[in-house]
Structure 1
Amino acid sequence: MTKILQQYSVSLFFVLTFVISWSFWSLPWLYQQGWIDQLPNWWGLGSFGPSLAGIILISLLYGSSGLKRLFKRLTRFKASFKLYLVVAFLPIGILVTTLALGTLLFNAQYDWSLLPTISGFGLVFIQILLLGGPMNEELGWRGFALPKLQQSTSALNASLWIGSIWAIWHLPLFMAEIPGYTLMPFYLYWLNTLALAIIFTWLYNTGKGQLWLSVLLHTFFNTINWLMLPLLPTSISSKIAVIYVGTMLLVAIFMVIKFGRNSLSNQMKNIEI
């Protein structure tokens, strides 16, 4: 049994992630189609699918020692100051570049009064950190799938696999037209997620498996996206989305060229799950 789990562990992780998440995320679409009378307010719990699947697979494969190593990777906060700067300012830099190009190319005007106060930003940041994606997902995508895939393929290939499946995982939210998932067509979202996966792999490998950095970067990206959406003029929001995705892809391509497809980092070492 353990041999089968080891051999098909990544596939089982992806299947379990989809089963958990889509069991919840299908509810808004079913409600919209009139197939259920009420939409439960707990449908959003589907976002915990990747982390829950990662914890289950690690527990089955490695027992309590594997869970301890996972927790250690999550709570290892010590990292170079440069990495923390990248985590904080890369999402901001991509946002500023996107908005600046929107103004330059399309004369976009933004309503800056919609930005929250510093305290409001902090509250949103904490909420997103705990419930808005990072902790819900990273114990699975980067905590389990990425190091597992990198045992048998290059960092770039692992990133492309995770990025594609990560995008498809969100399909029920597109089908139900959940706010935040109507700004761009799915193919653009897929390209954006591929770029994100490459950036996350670079960070994970450079940070030598520190999950906290992945959680933090995920939080910054989600928070920045939350800030950007209300600012966008409706008439050209789709064009701004193209600029955003294009900027993300350029960053990802730069990382592949600079660090190489095999490791996407000059700091990589074998990371024990």
Structure 2
Amino acid sequence: MTLIRRHPLVTFFALTYVIAWAFLPFGSFGAFAPLVAALVVVPVTQGVAGLRELGRRLVRWRVPWWCWALAIAVPLAVHVLAAVLGDPSPLLVASWGDVLLVFLLRLVDPTDGALGEEPGWRGFALPGMQARLSPLAATAILAVLITVWHLPLVLLAEGDRATTLIGMIVGTVGVTFWYSWLFDHTGGSVLLVVVAHAVEGAIQDDTVLYFTLWLALAVVLVVVDLKAWLGRAPTAATTDLSRARTGVLR
């Protein structure tokens, strides 16, 4: 317990890796590990108050309307752009009824990447890292850690594993910056990130082009909002929604 209290972030990441990777010998991957790790570390280090704050972030829906629009529209736009510029088959074969069903299931399934990951990555790890680091530095480090965490999935993938590896690295880094941007611009709403994550994964597109577009979006977000990325995130020390309601990061 003392070790956890002294090193909460290190403990969180260690648990996340161990829990997820423990399923690999069985041909699976514990995508829910970040959620479980957060539920272990938060009560030990922050008590009931920490669990309440994590819960508030997970249900925080009162954010600017344009944040809801972006959470849904941006992932869909990336899918459409990838289809226009490259292979349209992911959209052509998609049944939109099935896409909607997958999206809804991802919103409520704690074993899936959206709900299983975001309470840990964005609900716990990112605010803790941004308490000491700029949003840019915190997100860059988090992107590396999340990417490495996902790498064993390459072993479980079928087809060209080299392409899968490249796409996974590029895409994970890209979406990590997008999720951080969305989290900070909504006053720390994990709910909005879960929605964005669920939309992104509702359509299966594993092309390198698709993932490269996410990396391009990350570059745009950093360049356009560089001052905020290099400053201090409002969610590092507080979850004051007054800034989010005005749409101002700083």
TM-score normalized with structure 1 length: 0.78
After superposition, give the CA deviation of every residue in 1:177-196 in whole Å (9 maximum; x if it has no partner).
Answer: 268x9583323311211111
Q: Give the total of aligned pairs.
A: 237
Extract unaligned runs of 5+ from structure 1.
Answer: 29-42, 103-107, 230-240
Q: Distance in 1 between matches of 2:47 and 2:90?
A: 52
Q: Distance in 1 between matches of 2:231 and 2:217?
A: 14
Q: Distance in 1 between matches of 2:171 and 2:163?
A: 10
Extract unaligned runs of 5+ from structure 2.
Answer: 240-250
- Which residue identity does 1:143 align to in structure 2? G
What is the RMSD of the two structures over their aligned residues, measured on CA atoms? Answer: 2.6
TM-score normalized with structure 2 length: 0.85
Q: 1:20 corresponds to which residue?
A: 19
Q: 1:59 to 1:112 in 2, by over 3 A?
A: closer
- 1:60 deviates by 0.6
In the alignment, is residue 244 of structure 1 matched against residue 210 of structure 2? yes
1:259/1:266 contact within 8 Å kept: no
Q: 1:65 to 1:21 in 2, by over 3 A?
A: same
Q: 1:156 to 1:62 in 2, by over 3 A?
A: same
**2:79 counterpart (72, 79, 95):** 95
Any residues of structure 2 matched to 1:212-223 within 5 Å, and which? Answer: 212-223=191-202
Which of structures 1 and 2 has the bigger CA Rg? 1
Q: 2:10 corresponds to which residue?
A: 11
- Which residue identity does 1:199 align to in structure 2? W
Any residues of structure 2 matched to 1:23-172 within 5 Å, and which? Answer: 23-28=22-27, 43-44=28-29, 46-102=30-86, 108=87, 110=89, 114-118=93-97, 120-131=98-109, 132-172=112-152
After superposition, give the CA deviation of every residue in 1:87-134 in whole Å (9 maximum; x if it has no partner).
Answer: 1110111111111111xxxxx56386622143x322211222233211
Per the alignment, in what secondary structure is the counterpart of residue 56 of structure 1?
Answer: helix
- 1:271 deviates by 4.2
- Which residue identity does 2:169 align to in structure 1? W
**Identity, % of aligned positions:** 27
Per the alignment, in what secondary structure is the counterpart of residue 229 of structure 2?
Answer: coil
